[in-house]
Structure 1
């Protein structure tokens, strides 16, 4: 054979191989035939004019790591949980995305991602941004579903939408690759059709949102082997009932504080199961310390062998609609003794997720050099926003009254000195639930429920009201270098622009859904809000939006520039981040444990003073950020 012919033959062989090789990213259709699918748990039927599958079926001889999975799904609207399992390792370990048709269009968890590990579904541990989302899913029609996966991230598109209905920030199952299966009941509640997939390592994802660590987490635990719940008296320590074969295993909590028991233990049977978990809390003396905790499905808390708490949080345990989502929803006071104290939990599981979390309810975090300087009495209605007046050397704080909405028009703005003295609690009155504040010269701008109110500081009088076009929840205000005024509307998902006496709805975009705090950094408008929460840069000239940084959870309230070109970002639950122009976010303050909230903050650059309205806590505090 001539060299030329040999080269042509080799090229042809490689071309044929490429046509048949899934790794080269072509879409492969997989009709529901026995040679391609394990169909033992499924039925093939005609539905809505198509051949369809109902039930559970696994795709043969496919190992899925990264790529795209697509199928059409038709549901009846009845309670069911049809979806896709991927990266499956047997029947006990896989990632799963599914629809709750009976909650579609009504609840924010109609679309769910959850891993199953050791045969334990984990949806009670996987709730909120990155795990669940609301979605419309009309019954009795074919709805396209598209899942894209790359590394530890995934996203789900529904009904041909350009934007994902759910962005999964972390695939928790921990398996790099595995099988694919359609999962549903073998009845008329759900049908699958038009299945196809593509193995593709070239998908592009934005960087995963920042995963914040909870403050005061109890992170080091020993957990026992699992027992049948009926074999344990959960009100007595194990040694008091003669249980010695515990087979303790050291585990570490996740940054949130969660210990995911299903990652380490397999239930011994179908009946409810229980494990013991223990850790040591050290104290310099006798004291009472608040413990915040969460669990699924039931827990007993013992300190030094004595029962302090016993509770249940299983699905539908407390009422017919109760989901049993795990979170820091419970608290107990720990009577600590000097030295080492053993905290022991019995954690039981019936269905939906096996785990627990604990944190010190009094723990706070301050970055080095950060000091709390003062805090006012809790005498404010709901202090929402603060602004600094450099000409007069004072602070103004808006008083929102969410408890008495019918009394709108009777709220005020308070005046404070820089040392925290309340000079006048009702310095300006006659306002309708003011929120965001901004200052330009002798004019104070206050965002009220229907209008932007301009206040003349020299006369302490309302000078003008500029009404918003069909407002929903106007929130914060910022003033550009050219004098244009911008106002966020959190529930309308837009920015208003005011020039002179004219107000227009200037920009609406998906990124502005739940937009809250806004400020200017030079000529760039910076906006914070959304779910998951994010900080955005808005180009005024181009009316374009760029993501600076995203977090996995929380609610952004105030944003303020500091004196170094960064943005200070306050989360309502009680956290402050410093965000560099590069998007690097550093946590500066965390007061979520004791529940000290952050509202729309003010920053006094020449003094390095951060002023924090505590919102529903009813006080105003100040920190040194030198």
Structure 2
């Protein structure tokens, strides 16, 4: 009985030995390929070319109105009283080419508490939207080239490209909140109050202590800035470029330099994902569908 048990155990051991020495089954590893979508802009429409030297477009989310600032001349610093604010429709029709006139060289715009705020060389202009009348003007001390504008919770921020300053208007008073920003132009404010801007260093944000952090050093010298959310932005360069950018990458979505069509201070309809592009010397606004 002992021998039988011994040989039985030896047989089991041999079977296990040969089993372990045989070819092993391997699990097939399938790598998931994640397709990265390239952001694109597709032309939807263009207005007639009668919005003279249009510099900025602002879409009003509340009413669907599209405002256009028109310098109406060759000199972005010319104090000639020819500047105006026009209105166009979402279909690209010019509703009123001079809704408000008598300005000089109006540029960036923002809406706050029923007022349209516009930069005009060295003045900060308040327009009452309901009456289409200029309700106030402030001469900004030391200002040389006031440019883009953004609003958040009753405060209106605006830049001076030449002096490198960022100003803020609130409760009837103007203050300077940042200095030393070389060629600062585009500005935008997130829903949480964080300020973002475009200057010679690139795409930057303001920290709670007033310091700045550059998020993208490649998108430099930008004009218009749109916050898309999730760390993504659209930035335009006046020369004829529109970029999709975040803190690690950038994609050139539109290049109109060969056509000598500028891409100045862009506007954005977030609900329909439409980018409005003022073409400056081409005297028309172009609308593009954003896909990303």
Structures share fold, TM-score greater than 0.5: yes
Q: 1:562 aligned to 2:228? A: yes
Query: For 1:515, what is the secondary structure of its paired residue?
Result: coil
TM-score (norm 2): 0.81
Corresponding residue to 1:473 among 120, 128, 145: 145
- 8 Å CA contact 2:78–2:105 kept in 1: the answer is no
Question: Aligned residues, how many?
Answer: 252
Q: 1:573 aligned to 2:234? A: no
Give the distance between the partners of 2:129 and 2:214, measured in 1 at CA.
Answer: 36
Partner of 1:461 in structure 2?
A: 133
Corresponding residue to 1:547 among 214, 227, 232: 214
In 2 relative to 1, CA 456–448 (structure 1 residues): closer, same or farther, beyond 3 Å?
A: same
1:347-362 equivalences in 2 (<5 Å): none
Give the distance between the partners of 2:229 and 2:288, measured in 1 at CA.
Answer: 15
Q: 1:413 aligned to 2:78? A: no
Q: CA deviation at 1:467?
A: 2.5
Q: Looking at both structures, which has the greater relative contact order when contacts are Cα pairs under 8 Å and sequence separation is at least 6? A: 2
Partner of 1:94 in structure 2?
A: none
Partner of 2:250 in structure 1?
A: 585
Query: For 1:576, what is the secondary structure of its paired residue?
Result: strand
- 8 Å CA contact 1:469–1:503 kept in 2: the answer is no
Give the distance between the partners of 2:231 and 2:204, measured in 1 at CA.
Answer: 15
Gaps of at least 5 residues in structure 1 are: 1-366
Give the distance between the partners of 1:534 and 1:369, measured in 2 at CA.
Answer: 21
Q: CA deviation at 1:494?
A: 0.9
Corresponding residue to 1:515 among 184, 200, 213: 184
Give the distance between the partners of 1:373 and 1:458, measured in 2 at CA.
Answer: 30
Q: CA deviation at 1:485?
A: 1.5
TM-score (norm 1): 0.39
1:47-446 equivalences in 2 (<5 Å): 370-403=41-74, 407-446=79-118
- 8 Å CA contact 2:166–2:179 kept in 1: the answer is yes
In 2 relative to 1, CA 593–410 (structure 1 residues): closer, same or farther, beyond 3 Å?
A: closer
In 2 relative to 1, CA 563–546 (structure 1 residues): closer, same or farther, beyond 3 Å?
A: closer
Q: 1:409-467 CA distances to partner (integer Å, 9 max, x unpaired)?
A: 23110000011100010011121211001112421111112221111111111111233
Corresponding residue to 2:195 among 506, 520, 525: 525
Partner of 2:275 in structure 1?
A: 610
Q: CA deviation at 1:384?
A: 0.4
Query: For 1:453, what is the secondary structure of its paired residue?
Result: strand
Query: For 2:189, what is the secondary structure of its paired residue?
Result: strand
Note the aligned Cα RMSD (angstroms).
1.9
Query: For 1:556, what is the secondary structure of its paired residue?
Result: coil
Q: CA deviation at 1:593?
A: 2.2
- 8 Å CA contact 2:70–2:107 kept in 1: the answer is yes
Q: CA deviation at 1:521?
A: 2.2
Moved over 4 A (4+): 404-407
Give the distance between the partners of 1:494 and 1:394, measured in 2 at CA.
Answer: 30
Q: 1:364-385 CA distances to partner (integer Å, 9 max, x unpaired)?
A: xxx6653100111221221000
Partner of 1:536 in structure 2?
A: 204
Give the distance between the partners of 2:259 and 2:252, measured in 1 at CA.
Answer: 17
Gaps of at least 5 residues in structure 2 are: 1-37
Q: 1:235-279 CA distances to partner (integer Å, 9 max, x unpaired)?
A: xxxxxxxxxxxxxxxxxxxxxxxxxxxxxxxxxxxxxxxxxxxxx
Q: CA deviation at 1:600?
A: 0.3
- 8 Å CA contact 2:108–2:119 kept in 1: the answer is yes
Q: CA deviation at 1:468?
A: 1.0
